[in-house]
Chain A
Amino acid sequence: MVMFTLRRFLQLVPVFFGATLLVYFLVFATPGDPIAALSGGKPMAPAVEAALRAQYNLDQPFWIQYGLYLKNLVTLNLGQTFSGQDVSAVIGRAYPVTARLAIMALAIEAVFGVLFGVIAGLRKGKLFDATVLVASLVVIAVPTFVLGFVLQLVIGVQLGWARPTVSGAAPWDELILPALVLGLVSLAYVIRLTRASISENMNADYVRTATAKGLSRPRVVVVHILRNSLIPVVTFLGADLGSLMGGAIVTEGIFNVPGVGNLLYKAIQKGESATVVAVVGILVIVFVVANLVVDLLYAWLDPRIRYV
């Protein structure tokens, strides 16, 4: 198991370099000149333009730009934004906010998703099952921004139960609404995955054995059925954590959350490769670690799976 974990971490190295190179190239290749945009269509003195290009290495060919970026990366220098701030500081402010948002969204998905999924799976074809099925279909069908604007308008503006937008410090309680919006779509998927998995395993041999042994119904459901049914759900949640940590551009935009999504969106618009690559680099690590945790959870959930 230690070897397995180590091997996975080693795999991280080529994935990291490959992803940053690719993203760096994509930002480089986006049409338009970031320095021209910086002047906003007003004139710019040639000397100023040249100095700015040199400052961000924009006067260098692609490979040298990327090489210089890597060189700085080794010394943990992520570069500077066009506004002269350290990218590490900018990301340091945005990531905790997005992390809080992601954890809450994930908690909403996991707790309610599994709960509703189990109930629906156990009572297949009954009223609860049908209601959840229809509701989840509706949630999946409605785009996130519609959901976001509607909840913001109803709960934030008309009912006044919560602030319609998140204030600067982005405390936990203000993030409930955006987390709900973020979590709802995945919640629907979790419910459906859990339900399908539960109803499939209910007729499995080991469940019949457990019942025949005289185990109580709750124990059969929680320990035997649920634990074995969680593998697809955990896989889904792991991947979802990765995408949540990448920042939800639309949701963060609607609720003015100063998170990674907002940061990334603005950086892409400005063609600020240092910021984009740094965010993506961190994201790669998050994805790899989340997948590793998911893989390790498999072994815990299903004793038939072993890693060497």
Chain B
Amino acid sequence: MRFSRTSKALGVAAVLAMSLTACGGTSGGGNTGAAGGNTSKAITANGTEPQNPLLPANTNEVGGGRVMDLIFAGLVSYDVHGKTVNELAQSIETTDSQHYTIKIKPGQVFSDGTPITAKNFVDAWNYGAAAKNAQLNSYFFAPIKGYDKVSAPKSTLDKMEGLKVVDDTTFTVDLSAPESDFPLALGYTAFYPMPESAYKDIKAYGQNPVGDGPYKLAPGGWKHDTSITLIPNDKYKGPNKPKNGGVTFTLYSSPDAAYTDVQSDNLDVLDQVPPSGLQNFKTDFKGRFVNQAYAGNATMTIPSYLPEFKGEAGQMRRQAISMSINRQQIIDKIFYGNKKVATEFTSPVLDGYDGNLPGSDVLKYNPTKAKELWAAADKISPWPAGKVFTITSNIDGAGNKEYITAMANQIATTLGIKAQLNPIATFKQSRDLINSKKLTGASRAGWQADYPSLQDFLGPLYGTGAGSNDGDYSSPAFDAKLKEGLAAKSVEEGNKIFNQAQEILLKDLPVIPLWYQAVQGVWSNNVTNVQFGWNGVPLYYNITAK
């Protein structure tokens, strides 16, 4: 049996490898516009076992997220284009982007019939932020005044001073600094309200949450590791009323099995075509597929702490590397054209996106210019003889190894240096290396938005000392622009300033933008009216069974 054990182990690596960054690309596909069909029949969709109890502030991954977003509704929700629309909120008002007054629509109830009040929001946010509750999304409440006190290690406080209930339907939020895009975040999972009854036994609530969304969990609906069944919530009054009789998520451990199931009409909707299907899904599913950009991108971080990439010479080297990558060729050869070349640092599905920012030429393939820049940098401080430019990446995500090897080859060929992939076996191991700031070269990176905001692609990643600033980038000019944008009177004004901040990034290139991610989804013959949203997740409530 030793023999067959080995083949099992090899098979795992070859077959089951999967990742978030599966694929991406240009738009296409067929969305049938006309509604109709059977609105009382339930549909099935692919899912994964939620990694955490289903609590708003503790759900930080797609498996739980897609369920939470259906059984809960927040102050705002995002339409198919990522535009923010008021859901429970009557109005969100501010004059200085720092002090907000939020009014909620009267007469809204949770699925158990209890009314939704301002207190439900305040309590849920306080619960999410408090250190003693150890909620994974707690950092989302960081802008709120008093967060630093409740989130300090060993803190026993559980109320942020920035949150005040005015009456049943009104509460105020004071932030510690202006943040013009704060209203955009309010549709994210972390900001959902919880009913009063939740706190009596939060552990039981996490297994069987009572929400206020278009759907509710069917009795005993969460069968761990196998399926999650949702039924319509007839008390829901918002804009996303279900056009089907429920959604059952079948939980898969690999997208390959799910793909086979959609092919044989055993599963209705799949939002992730596995790498093995990327070449053929458009013919396998004629008129039943989608291939559209979502709010995510792929980049390569070159840490600021690398001596060769510091100062003026460092800036030239970064630009040279960027210009030596033929992004379109990699997209065509490795991803079968299913991605779109990046021209800035955010995503084309966002409001305020500008694909022609001054200075974006640095992201275009230009081997001649790249060679010149590299030679000029060498004159200032020579590239150490024999030094290899490494790109660190986990290789348990499908496709990572292939595209990074290709990229390294392009860099090596154009610049005449040695470049190669530094393969790391698992995601958790590569995170370790990146977090400890011990890289000796570049690393694979990317970002997926939690809510549709330009700022979400910039501040958390490139602000001095920000949580996901893996490369330790620090630029006073960029920080100032960021602050200015956050203090803007409106989201629109803020976006203009954020794009000016991007121009600074295009010069400094703390990371090299590569391409925008796209979702490849397919559906069975049994459903119609399938649309995918700004975040690459299907709008389950709009799908109808035939």
Encoded as 1 (CB less than 8 Å from any A CB) or 0, chain B from 234 to 255 comes to 0000000000000000111110
Q: Find out whether the CB atom of B16 lies under 8 angstroms from the CB atom of A38.
A: no
Binary flags per residue of B32-73, CB closer than 8 Å to A gives 1, else 0: 000000000000000001111100000011000000000000
Q: How far is the CA of A50 from the CA of B154 in the complex (A)?
A: 9
* Among listed A6-14, A159-167, A292-300, interface-contacting one: A159-167
Residues of B within 8 A of A256 (CB): 250, 252-254, 257-258, 261
CB neighbours (8 Å) of A243 from chain B are: 1, 5
A 117-156 to B, binary, CB cutoff 8 A, 1 in contact else 0: 0000000000000000000000000011100000011001
**Contact status of A157 and B206, CB under 8 A, knowing A42-B60, A253-B254, A265-B253:** no
Q: Assuming A55-B134, A84-B53, is B266 touching A165 (CB within 8 A)?
A: yes
CB distance from A232 to the nearest CB of B (A): 14
Q: Does B467 contact A (CB under 8 A)?
A: yes
**Interface assignment of A239: CB less than 8 Å from any CB of chain B:** yes
B14 touches A145 (CB 8 A): yes
Interface residue? B28 (CB, 8 A): no
Whether the pair B260, A157 counts as a contact (CB closer than 8 A) is: yes
Q: Are A42 and B467 in contact (CB under 8 A)?
A: yes
Q: In the complex, which of the residues B135, B251, B257 has the most CB atoms of chain A within 10 Å of its own CB atom? A: B257
State how many angstroms separate the Cβ of B68 from the closest Cβ of chain A.
Answer: 14
Cβ 8 A contact of A84, one of B9, B11, B52: B52
Closest to A85 in B: B224
* Residue from A52, A93, A160, A254 whose CB has the most chain B CB atoms within 10 Å: A254
Of all chain B residues, the one with the shortest Cβ separation from A242 is B1
What residues on B are CB-neighbors of A89 within 8 Å?
A: 224
User: B257–A52 contact, CB under 8 A?
Assistant: no
**A130 and B152 alpha carbons, distance in the complex (Å):** 75
Report the count of interface residues on A (CB-CB < 8 A): 65
Bound state CA distance, A84 and B50, in angstroms?
A: 11
Q: Decide yes or no whether B475 CB sits under 8 A from chain A.
A: no
Contact between A253 and B264, CB atoms less than 8 A apart:
no
Identify the closest chain B residue to A240 (Cβ).
Answer: B1
Determine if A48 and B138 form an interchain contact, defined as CB atoms under 8 angstroms apart.
Answer: yes
**Contact between A32 and B11, CB atoms less than 8 A apart:** no
**12 new A-B pairs (CB below 8 Å) besides A39-B136, A47-B153?**
A41-B431, A42-B60, A43-B467, A45-B151, A84-B53, A84-B203, A93-B224, A157-B264, A165-B260, A250-B7, A250-B12, A252-B253
A-B residue pairs, 5 tightest by C-beta: A43-B467, A168-B226, A37-B428, A32-B428, A32-B429
Ordered by A's residue number, 11 sampled pairs between the chains whose C-beta atoms are within 8 Å are A33-B428, A33-B435, A36-B435, A44-B467, A90-B224, A145-B7, A165-B257, A250-B15, A258-B251, A265-B12, A271-B428
A interface list, Cβ under 8 A from B = 30-34, 36-48, 50-52, 55, 82-85, 89-90, 93-94, 143-145, 152-153, 156-157, 160, 163-165, 167-169, 185-186, 239-240, 243, 248-250, 252-256, 258, 262-263, 265-266, 269-271
